A and B are shown apart, each in its own frame.
Chain A
Amino acid sequence: MNKTGLLGALALCAFSILAHADEDSLRIGIEAAYPPFSYKTPEGDLGGFDYDIGNALCAEMKVKCQWVIQAFDGMIPSLKVHKIDAVLSSMSITDDRLKSVDFSKKYYHTPGKFAMKAGGVINDPLVDLKGRKVGVQRASTYDRFATEQLESAGVEVVRYASQNEAFLDLAAGRLDATLADIVNTDESFIKTPAGKGFALVGPDINDPKYFGRGAGIALRKGDSANATRLNAAIDALRANGKYQQIQAKYFAFDIYGE
């Protein structure tokens, strides 16, 4: 590399550092491998619910979104060393994470849902599923809920190594119902040929004791400025209908929760 090139590269670096220091831009980490929340389109562009919500939030706050694609397990470390300012990548608000980062309020909270033969009715799972077989993924939060709440009410809980095996057995008729995340159930079962004739049934299963507080935007500890304006922007999107507009692109149901 000649000297001019080197100088140019240095100038570019300096410029990008300046750009990063720009007050009116927010560097947001996203995984881009968690459809339908975040993914890359065949053209290589970002897409998904997280991405659209993020852009809408930035528009609401009148700041520029800078998307940084990176692996999920590196998000919090990157946040801490100031490589990014926020993580908007379907990150659940958990006690463990709250020890090292702050969170905005939730921007979605998908509940668990039972899937069963279309036409089935569950008003109260503890009553209507008594003596029936319900499949869950072993060691999932749903397994924990089913073990502590359903099993003691006389529901027969069947545990599977993977959620897809539970769906297979539901389709085969070995199970009366499955209990899993609503988006997972909808995307990988109900919408597929195997899920024909099956439906999401019954109340939302979202006891915070088992299922946490939903997905939020992770911020550095003590970053109350961003927390305040992000929370306000989330409320604004909910109020002005933009949230519902974006949601309708991906889901047939409300994923915000109560």
Chain B
Amino acid sequence: MILDYNLIWQNLPLYLGGALLTLKVLLISLALGLLLAIPLALLRVSRSPLLNAPAWLYTYVIRGTPMLVQLFLIYYGLAQFEAVRQSLLWPYLSSATFCACLAFAINTSAYSAELLAGSLKSTPGGEIEAARAMGMSRLTLYRRILLPSALRRALPQYSNEVLMMLQTTSLASIVTLVDITGAARTVSARFYLPFEAFITAGLIYLAMTFVLVRLFKLAERHWLAYLAPRKH
């Protein structure tokens, strides 16, 4: 089989535009998702059922339904209602980019919240006792000890979540966005070159994954150095 890369080469700007869009959607949804995940995680470790149950329900529903379904509901579902189309939110909800970011942020917030909650729960008891012995209030305890420690220890799992999200952004192409996958679909449909088109997309995702993995390695070396095996 002979691969025809001339056409791919000519359509490289389409792929580059797609890569930028993928990055944009990924960064926005990760930032929003993490912001939402921290309070959610705190609720999830609360012993009060009034605080815990709503957060549990949220993560259960979001983690229990496919991302594709959530995206369809937000993009096509909400637009069915006249009330939504008349509302102040419509200028935002009518944008495919906004809907994709929103859906992805909600999705990653649920997974990240569970991940952080697990990390919070596994905080060594000694750290908490020491903080109490120092006379820290609960707020200070969370701010100075629990959260920083939990966030650090969650880094390796969180890097997984980020990679998963990178691949998930490929769903953006089904709500008309021309991200990397969208570019590949366009090229494939226009020139009947599915193989070349999607291989190129795959290579771009691989390159992005490589960079992300390196970045997380650096971050772990920086913030998790205290957990690394002793070198001397």
- Given A159-B176, A160-B176, the answer on whether A174 and B189 have CB atoms closer than 8 Å is no
Say whether A65 faces chain B, with CB atoms less than 8 Å apart: no
- Given A161-B174, A173-B85, the answer on whether A139 and B189 have CB atoms closer than 8 Å is yes
Q: Are A172 and B94 in contact (CB under 8 A)?
A: yes
Interface magnitude class on chain B: 10 to 19
- Given A147-B190, A169-B79, A172-B94, the answer on whether A138 and B185 have CB atoms closer than 8 Å is yes
Q: Which of B59-100 contact A (CB under 8 A)?
A: 76, 79-80, 85, 94, 96
Residues 120-151 of chain A: 1 if any B CB is under 8 Å from the residue's CB, otherwise 0? 00000000000000010011000110010000
Complex Cα distance A122/B185, Å?
30
Q: Are B189 and A138 in contact (CB under 8 A)?
A: yes
Say whether A165 faces chain B, with CB atoms less than 8 Å apart: yes
Complex Cα distance A159/B190, Å?
12
Complex Cα distance A171/B84, Å?
13
A135, A147, A160, A172 — most chain B CB neighbours (10 Å)? A172
Contact partner, B76, options A138, A158, A168, Cβ 8 Å: A168
Q: In the assembled complex, which residues on chain A have CB atoms less than 8 Å from the CB atom of B159?
A: none
Q: In the assembled complex, which residues on chain A have CB atoms less than 8 Å from the CB atom of B76?
A: 165, 168-169, 172
Complex Cα distance A160/B85, Å?
21
Q: Are B176 and A158 in contact (CB under 8 A)?
A: yes
Complex Cα distance A207/B189, Å?
20
Q: Are B80 and A172 in contact (CB under 8 A)?
A: yes
Say whether B167 faces chain A, with CB atoms less than 8 Å apart: no
Q: How far apart are B144's CB and chain A's nearest CB, in angstroms?
A: 48
Q: In the assembled complex, which residues on chain B have CB atoms less than 8 Å from the CB atom of A174?
A: 79, 94, 96
Q: Which of A152-183 contact B (CB under 8 A)?
A: 158-161, 165, 168-169, 171-174
Q: How far apart are A164's CB and chain B's nearest CB, in angstroms?
A: 10
Cβ-closest chain B residue relative to A174: B94
Cβ-closest chain B residue relative to A138: B189
Q: In the assembled complex, which residues on chain A have CB atoms less than 8 Å from the CB atom of B190?
A: 139, 143-144, 147
Complex Cα distance A171/B79, Å?
9
Q: In the assembled complex, which residues on chain A have CB atoms less than 8 Å from the CB atom of B185?
A: 138, 159
Q: How far apart are B220's CB and chain A's nearest CB, in angstroms?
A: 39
Contact partner, B79, options A139, A147, A161, A168, Cβ 8 Å: A168
Q: In the assembled complex, which residues on chain A have CB atoms less than 8 Å from the CB atom of B209?
A: none
Q: Are B94 and A159 in contact (CB under 8 A)?
A: no
Q: Are A173 and B189 in contact (CB under 8 A)?
A: no
Q: In the assembled complex, which residues on chain B have CB atoms less than 8 Å from the CB atom of A159?
A: 176, 185-186, 189
Q: Are A138 and B186 in contact (CB under 8 A)?
A: yes
Q: Which of A36-94 contact B (CB under 8 A)?
A: none
Residues 134-178 of chain B: 1 if any A CB is under 8 Å from the residue's CB, otherwise 0? 000000000000000000000000000000000000000010100
CB-defined A-B contacts under 8 Å, sample of 16:
A138-B185, A138-B186, A138-B189, A143-B190, A144-B190, A159-B185, A159-B189, A168-B76, A169-B79, A172-B80, A172-B85, A172-B94, A173-B79, A173-B94, A174-B79, A174-B96
